[in-house]
Chain A
C-alpha cells in the first residue's frame, strides 16, 4: 500500500532546476509550513533536509495538541505536511548534505557535498533540533541495547525490568510514569535538587509507587556486554560514584539545535540557536529562520508552524522586492 508520496519523483522531474525564489533548509514542521505558504503563492521553492522530511514530528508517537486534529501519529502528520508541500510544487530533497553556504550577497548559494549547486533570492533556515545525548562512555555502544530515547518505541522491551530515566523536565517525568506500565522499577536520575517539569507532572511521578528518585546526580558511564548491565552514577556535590545494576535507560534531557552546518554563516547565540529579530530575520539580508533551531523559549509543533508561516510571508516580501 503506497501511503507515502515519493520525493524521488519530484527530484527526477526537477533535476535541472537550480534557481529558486526561496530555498528552505530543513523539512520539519517549520520548513514544510513555509514551503506550503510560499509554493501556494506561486514561488518556486526547494526544501533541503539533511535527513528525512518531518523532523522531530517523526519521533512523536501521538500528537494530541494540534488544533483541528484530535489525535494523529507524528508520522502521519509529517507525511501529510510533506505531501501538502509537494502538492503545491515544493521540491523536497532528502539526505542533502551541505558543503558550503554563501548567503552574504544578493544571490544565496547552497552547494551540496554531491556537487549540486542551488541559488535563490531568499533563504529560510529551519534545521530543527535533535535529542540531546549525555555523551558519556558506553552511551553509543548500548543505544538500542538497553539505552533508548523513545519510551513509546522501546518500553515493552523492559517488561518487569528495572530502568533509569534521565532528566527532570516534563518529558522525563511523563515518560517515567508511562514506563511504569512495563518496568518493575523506574529510577529518575536528575542533576539538580528540583525538577523543571510542571508541578502536576512532578506530583504524578512522586505518587507512583514504582518510581524513586536520585537527585543531584548524573550518569558518567554505561557498562555491559551484549546489552546494558549497569550505570555508573556520580553524586554531583560529593563526587561519589556508585554502580547501579540496571536493564535499561531512557534519556530525556532536551534538544540541541541542528545548526552545525550554518555556524559562521549566520549569527548564533551561545547555545548554537539562530538569533532572529521579531520578524524572524537573521543578521543577513533575506535570510530568515524558523522553528526549534531559532532563539526562542517555546518549541512545539504549533509554534514551529507559526514560525514557518511568518518566515514564509517575510521571505515572500523579500522575493517581490
Chain B
C-alpha cells in the first residue's frame, strides 16, 4: 500500500476514534496506544517486503511469491559481437572474450531503447540484468545489456587501460561501447528507436550516473530518463564495508577452507533431513525456516566471498592483460593448458583496497598529469582517486539533472547515513528509499518494479 493511501485510511480511522471521545480519563488506557499504533502504522503499511534481515535479502532476493508477475512474452534477442573492436594482443587464454559482446532485445515496432549496465563483476547476461531486461522489454522497450567494466570480458576487450575501477575512465569505455553497440544492432536488424533511456544497479548505477553526465556534454543519445538502482555513494566506504564482510565472526570459521567446509556440512545436514537435493529459487528461504538457518554473520561471509571472487577475477584478468606482474611473472605467456589455480589463490587474497593499492595507484602515478605530480603521497592520492570517482563528485550536475532518479534502501550496507543524506539532498523529489531490502534484495519485488517503470515513463515516483 502506498504511503498516501495509508495516510488516507489513517486519517479516516483517527477521525472515527475522535468521535469515540478521547477524554483525559481514558486517554492513557485507550487512546495513547491507538495513537502510537497509528503513528507507526504508515511505515508498516507503506512497504510489505517480507525479508527483514538485509543480509538474507541480499543473498536470497525476493521470495518467489512476492516477485512481480511478468507475462510470458517471447523476447526477440541475440548476443552480438563487435568485430572491429577485437583486442588483437590479448593472451590466448582469453580467446573467449577478446571480442566485446553485448545482448540486444528488439521490438518489431518503433520503441524507445534502454541500456542496462551490470553491477560489480557482472556480465551483460547476469541474472539481475536479465530480470531488468524482462521488465523493460514487456514495457515496450528495445533493450541493450552491457557488461560491468569490472567484469572479466570487459576488462579484456572493453576497457582501454584494462585496469577498471576508476569510474570516470570506465564510463568513457562504457559510452564508447554503447555507441558501437547501437551501430552494430542497426546492422543486425531494423531498429526504429524513438527515445533513449539508461539504468544500472549497484556499481553499474554509479557508472550510469557518470555516463549520463558524459552524454549531457557529448550528446550522442540525449537520455530522457536515467535510473540509478542502489548506487554506492562514497566508493571508499562501500568497498571498505564489502571487504570487511569477510571478517564476520562465525564460530569455527577462521579462513576460507573452514568457511567452505562449514557451509558444506550445514547444507549436507539440511539436505539429509529433507531427503533430497533441490537447488531452486526458494531453497534458501526453506533453509532459513529450518534449524539449519544461516546466521547474519554466515550470510555476510557469503556476500564477502562472492565479492572477493569478483575482485580476484578482475585483478587476475587485469594483470594478464597489462603485464603489471603483480600475479603473473613478466613476459610469462599463460597457455590454455596451464594451471591457473596458483594465481587464483594469490588473487583471492587481495581485497578491493589491495587492488586499488597494487594496480590503480601505481597506474595513476605513472600517468603524466598534474594530479600525480602534486600528490606523491599514496594515501592522499588514493583518497583523491576515490573522491573523484564517487557520486558526490557529480553533486552540482546531479542537482540540476532533472532526468536522473535514484532508488535505494535504508538498510543497504554499501552506503551509510551520510551517503543517504547526500542522496536525499541531491535528488529531492527524484529519490525513492525503501526501509528494507539490503543490497538489491528487493529488485524483483512488485512495488519496486512498479516504481521503476513509473519513474522511467516520466510519472515520477508514486509517493515522492
Does chain A bind chain B?
no
Residues of B participating in the A interface, judged by any CB pair closer than 8 Å: none
Which residue numbers of A lie inside 8 Å of B, CB to CB? none
